[in-house]
Amino acid sequence: MSANHDGANLLEVRGLTKIFGTLTACDHIDLNIAKGEIHALLGENGAGKSTLVKMLFGSLEPNSGEIFWNGQAVRITSPGAAKKLGIGMVFQHFSLFEALTAAENIALSLDDGSPISSIAAKARALSYSYGLPLDPDSLVGDLSVGERQRIEIIRCLLQTPQLIILDEPTSVLTPQEADKLFETLERLRSEGKSILYISHRLEEVKRICDRATVLRHGKVVGHCNPREETAASLARMMVGNEVQAVVRAPVDGIETAQPLLEIRGLTRKPATPFSIPLKNISLNVRAGEVIGIAGVAGNGQGEFFESVSGEVLQQDAASVRIRGKDAGGLTITGRRLLGAAFVPEERLGHGAAPRMKLSENLLLSRHATDGKAFVGAGGMVKSGAIYAASQRIIEAMDVRKSAPDPEAAALSGGNLQKFIVGRELDRRPSVMVVNQPTWGVDAGAAAHIRQALIELSRSGSAVLVISQDLDELFEISDAIAVMHNGELSKPMPIAEATFEKVGLLMGGAEPGHAEHTLETA
């Protein structure tokens, strides 16, 4: 670690500290970013990465410490000040305007005064040249997480910053799209730009990053050259001990097992002009197996989940069958009563009510199925019973929290996700449908959730996992199907599946003809 200001460093951070109440989120952080390097920032959720990055981007003020930009001491007092210095940021969450179009979102971050009408064309051209195609006229509220992230990336690149901070940029891209992004990043590096790259995907950090700084519990625990490390050694630095590898025992005779979730010719018209119609989707999930659904964000996975969970009802009652009974016309509660459980993509606001306690959130999805246990005479909530049950889940899933029964919003993303998945697992559902089980969740928590889903299937349940994380699907699935433009490919047994085959289907190769496409390719 060099202490001299040798001028080669674009950004130097000395002893940066941020204290929230009793929690020291960042504790004397030192960080040097050289010109023209891709620097990885590694750490589990809650390690202080976001707090550090927010201080660099001016949305949080440090309690102590110094920041040097090109050797000059600077105070970054607002995001506007950071932008003026030449720091751009691609956020993981919450920085787009849902009621505006993609082009308008981009226009807002450009200060060059170009008319809004010309920005749509400019954005479309740039997005294609960066390999991240987007429709500038679509409303952000209609877009999936992945498409929103593309807008974020384009928006940041259009500002031509000197330092680009990317927070988990590839978690929603196909492998081929991620490759394109890496090409872009390498091009930016060759132009002398610096990149601070936050990711939990250790393989890609090893692939593109020149140096890495590892945070744990708000402290810097090490600097390293990721190319000289293994994924396992990086994970060890982040977590502090070994991450338990997920174990998936092979299943025998699955072909003869009872299908617990049957989807037959599921078709759905687009709900809004921009959403994806579902086209004749058929799939069986049998007792004892995990089926994964891969696909680039925004290809109908959200619509599919809504249809299966009963948030949207089907005309044809037989298009969704749970444990042999027609469920297409049943509401989400009706489907739960048949033994199904659902975990939606969005944790806060959809999976859990942010301002309610965990025990109260337990009741959200289980008021009907566990009515006798949790609700007493006259509709009175048995607060003792829901508290005890929530504590049981917290213990089973190793949920880390600051109070005995905190509000959902007070938990970190990974811990809340463990609770929400645990809430459904606790019921021992015979059908479990999960959308994005570990989005933005740290390695330790993700391994825990994945193992729990596998164990549920091995105990005789049918598990359907929709995910944009291919590593995850290959880890837990017995077969992988790919969703593209509202159509679902035939499930491919995991023994035959490769990243390349799945990636091609994700990019739009004809469903069910993966082998053929590969031969001609």
Partner 1 sequence: MDITVNILLTIATAATPLLIAAIGELVVERSGVLNLGVEGMMIMGAVGGFGAGYLTGSPWIGLLAAIAMGALFSLLFAVMTLSLATNQVATGLSLTLLGLGLSGMIGTSFVGQPGVRLPNLDIPGLSSIPVVGKLLFGQDPVFYISIVLTAAVMWFLFKTRTGLTLRSIGDSHTSAHALGIKVIRYRYLAVIFGGACAGLAGGHLSLVYTPQWVENMTAGRGWIALALVVFASWRPWRVLAGAYIFGAVWIGQLHAQAFGIPVPSQMLSSLPYLATVVVLVLISRNKRLTMMNTPASLGQPFVPDR
Beta strands at 87-90 and 487-488: parallel, antiparallel or unpaired: unpaired
For the bound state, the minimum distance from the C-beta of residue 16 to partner 1, rounded and expressed in Å, comes to 15
313 binds partner 1 (CB under 8 A): no
19 binds partner 1 (CB under 8 A): no
160 binds partner 1 (CB under 8 A): no
Site residues (CB under 8 A) for partner 1, limited to 45-74: 57, 59-61
List, in sequence order, every beta strand (DSSP E) within 254-352. 259-268, 278-286, 290-294, 320-322, 325-326, 340-343
100 binds partner 1 (CB under 8 A): yes
Q: Work out which of 11, 13, 56, 96 binds partner 1, going by CB under 8 A.
A: 96
DSSP state of 155: H
350 binds partner 1 (CB under 8 A): no
422: how many CB neighbours lie within 10 A of its CB?
22
**The one segment of 24-32, 90-98, 223-231, 276-284 that binds partner 1 by CB under 8 A:** 90-98
Site mask, partner 1, residues 273-312, x = CB under 8 A?
Answer: x---------------------------------------
For the bound state, the minimum distance from the C-beta of residue 81 to partner 1, rounded and expressed in Å, comes to 8
Q: Name which of 139 and 178 has its Cβ closer to partner 1.
A: 139
Q: Name which of 69 and 342 has its Cβ closer to partner 1.
A: 69
Q: Work out which of 107, 352, 363, 408 binds partner 1, going by CB under 8 A.
A: 107
Q: Name which of 87 and 465 has its Cβ closer to partner 1.
A: 87
Cα separation, 45 vs 89, in Å, equals 19
What CA–CA distances, in Å, run from 455 to 217, 249, 375, 428?
30, 9, 29, 11
Q: Name which of 59 and 383 has its Cβ closer to partner 1.
A: 59
Q: Name which of 77 and 280 has its Cβ closer to partner 1.
A: 77
Element (H, E) at 15: strand 9-20
Q: Name which of 253 and 273 has its Cβ closer to partner 1.
A: 273
Q: Work out which of 8, 97, 392, 499 binds partner 1, going by CB under 8 A.
A: 97
**The one segment of 67-75, 103-111, 161-169, 212-220 that binds partner 1 by CB under 8 A:** 103-111
Class of residue 6 by CB neighbours under 10 A (exposed 0-12, middle 13-18, buried 19+): exposed
For the bound state, the minimum distance from the C-beta of residue 151 to partner 1, rounded and expressed in Å, comes to 12
Cα separation, 167 vs 196, in Å, equals 8
For the bound state, the minimum distance from the C-beta of residue 229 to partner 1, rounded and expressed in Å, comes to 33
Q: Work out which of 17, 24, 70, 95 binds partner 1, going by CB under 8 A.
A: 95
For the bound state, the minimum distance from the C-beta of residue 100 to partner 1, rounded and expressed in Å, comes to 6
Q: Work out which of 69, 91, 304, 342 binds partner 1, going by CB under 8 A.
A: 91
Class of residue 107 by CB neighbours under 10 A (exposed 0-12, middle 13-18, buried 19+): buried
78 binds partner 1 (CB under 8 A): yes
Please name which of 469, 499, 497 lies closest in space to residue 173, comparing C-alpha atoms. 469
For the bound state, the minimum distance from the C-beta of residue 193 to partner 1, rounded and expressed in Å, comes to 20
User: With the C-alpha atoms ordered 411, 96, 198, 291, is the resulting torsion angle positive or negative?
Assistant: positive
**The one segment of 82-90, 223-231, 307-315, 402-410 that binds partner 1 by CB under 8 A:** 82-90
**The one segment of 88-96, 284-292, 325-333, 418-426 that binds partner 1 by CB under 8 A:** 88-96
Query: What is the Cα 39 distance to its own chain's centre?
Result: 21
Site mask, partner 1, residues 108-137, x = CB under 8 A?
Answer: xx---x--x---------------------
Name residues whose C-beta falls within 8 Å of residue 288's C-beta, 6 or more positions apart in sequence: 251, 254, 257, 457, 458, 460, 461, 462
Q: Name which of 76 and 425 has its Cβ closer to partner 1.
A: 76
Measure the N-to-C terminal CA separation of the chain; round to a whole number of Å: 48
Tokens of 215: 């945070």
Cα separation, 201 vs 240, in Å, equals 17
Class of residue 158 by CB neighbours under 10 A (exposed 0-12, middle 13-18, buried 19+): buried
DSSP state of 490: P
83 binds partner 1 (CB under 8 A): yes
Q: Name which of 7 and 113 has its Cβ closer to partner 1.
A: 113
User: With the C-alpha atoms ordered 384, 389, 395, 401, is the resulting torsion angle positive or negative?
Assistant: negative
DSSP state of 273: T
Q: Name which of 6 and 111 has its Cβ closer to partner 1.
A: 111
Interacting residues with partner 1 (CB under 8 A): 57, 59-61, 78-83, 89, 91, 94-100, 104, 107-109, 113, 116, 139, 141, 272-273
